[in-house]
Amino acid sequence: MDYQQLILTRLLEKYEESRHFYGDARVNRKVALKFNHKEFPWYDLERVEVKEAVHFAVKKLREKGMIKLKWMRFEEGNILEEVSLNLAQLESVYQLAGRKPKGDSLLEVHSRLAAIKKTVQIPWIEKFLKDSIEHLENTKSLPRYLPKEEETCHKFLSALAGIEEKGSDEMLERVFSRKYLGSSKEMERKVRSRLVTVIKEFFPLDKDLEDEVVLEYVGILKTSEDLLFRGPLEIDLLQERIDFAPFIFGTSLNTETIKRLIVRKLKVDKVITIENKASYLAYIKDNDRDKELAVYLAGFYSPVKKMFLEKIWNFIRVNSPETEFFHWGDIDLGGFKIFLQVQNIIPQVQPFLMDVETLRKYVVYGDLIEDNYRKKLTALLEKPEYRIFYPTIKEMLGLGVKLEQEAIEI
């Protein structure tokens, strides 16, 4: 083991966290490394060969003028108490430690952020870059959203630049990763989780959205997405009229079709969005639902599902405003949040089978709620947007259960 390099590295880590680095040290306090188990566990007094190797290393560093030594009282030359860094020799210390100065690394990150910011037009990326640059300038430290590891930080910033460059085009995640990060798996390995966090914060998006849905909002797709539905919908697609009424067992549309379609006819009494696939399939088995449009959401809707719902809503509110809209989801925190998401598009939507009566009827199939979950439920009673679910939430708290919609017979 290279004890000289190890000792200098630990000292530089302390220096980079000290007021000396940030330039606001009020006293000339030394940057010291104590030779105890917490700060330098490699210093093992029971192993003579290790102890002597450490002593040899610190003496060499002292000869080079990089550190000062302090021995334990009455143990001069036998037991080390601490070493302190010679701040006047920082450049030489960094070189011998084989470590890039933190100031240089921060300057490189700042330059990269500024370079991307000059060309960026996507608002959430611009805000992230602006906040990150301000944080760097004010604190001389990396913002919490940027990776500390240099290569990973570079990859992350390359992903942001890639999202800006591709604009509104959609790309499969592995294609995006290969084009902008150099390998089809780099996105998943090094960037995905942090990127999702930043998008949720700066886009902003609901913190409960699945990672795949979040990435879809910026045009990065895990796989090509299909939307499942059943109902007498007629559309125009590239000058062709298509009638889906004969598809009584349901059908699907892909992303490009949804983008290009124009709703031409939809004579229904009811539109219902359904959270879970098993419940959707059970619902559409009833062939007497000719006057209904049923849409499978798969949880929180993605951008393409949002586009489809907006097209349906915009057609119906003009041509048949008497049509009723419903959403059917789990009787739980997620189900309530998904309902509010649908309500953002369709203000008049009402919950379906998410009431007190349904909860009581199927309570034996419910899952018990824990204390932390109970606190989150209780907090919803203070939020007016959840008012429609107040009775159900109170019943959940009283019964101590939540209920997945698959338990409900339809």
Render 31-92 in DSSP notation, one character per residue: -EEE-STTT-TT--TT-HHHHHHHHHHHHHHHHTTSEEEEEPTT-TTTSEEEEEE-GGGHHH
Confidence at residue 245, expressed as pLDDT on a 0 to 100 scale: 93
Confidence at residue 25, expressed as pLDDT on a 0 to 100 scale: 67
Which residues are CB-neighbours of 154 under 8 A, at least 6 positions away? 112
Confidence at residue 23, expressed as pLDDT on a 0 to 100 scale: 75
CA 195 to chain centre: 6
What is the distance between the alpha carbons of residues 385 and 29, in angstroms, rounded to a whole number? 54
Tens digit of pLDDT for each residue in 69-79? 999 999 999 99
Confidence at residue 355, expressed as pLDDT on a 0 to 100 scale: 95
Alpha carbon separation from 271 to 96, 233, 345 (Å, rounded): 70, 11, 13
Confidence at residue 28, expressed as pLDDT on a 0 to 100 scale: 72
Confidence at residue 133, expressed as pLDDT on a 0 to 100 scale: 96
| Token reading at 103 | 């100031």
Phi, psi of 188 (to 5 degrees): -65, -40
Confidence at residue 199, expressed as pLDDT on a 0 to 100 scale: 96
Confidence at residue 345, expressed as pLDDT on a 0 to 100 scale: 95
Give the sign of the dihedral formed by CA 292, CA 298, CA 299, CA 304: negative
Beta-strand relationship, 324-328 and 32-34: unpaired
Alpha carbon separation from 357 to 277, 351, 352 (Å, rounded): 23, 13, 11
Confidence at residue 210, expressed as pLDDT on a 0 to 100 scale: 86
Confidence at residue 22, expressed as pLDDT on a 0 to 100 scale: 80
In the chain, what are the domain boundaries?
A: 3-97, 102-221, 226-407
Confidence at residue 6, expressed as pLDDT on a 0 to 100 scale: 95
Domain 226-407 has CATH 3.40.1360.10: yes
Task: Give the count of beta carbons closer than 10 Å to the beta carbon of residue 118.
Answer: 7
pLDDT beneath 50, residues of the chain: none
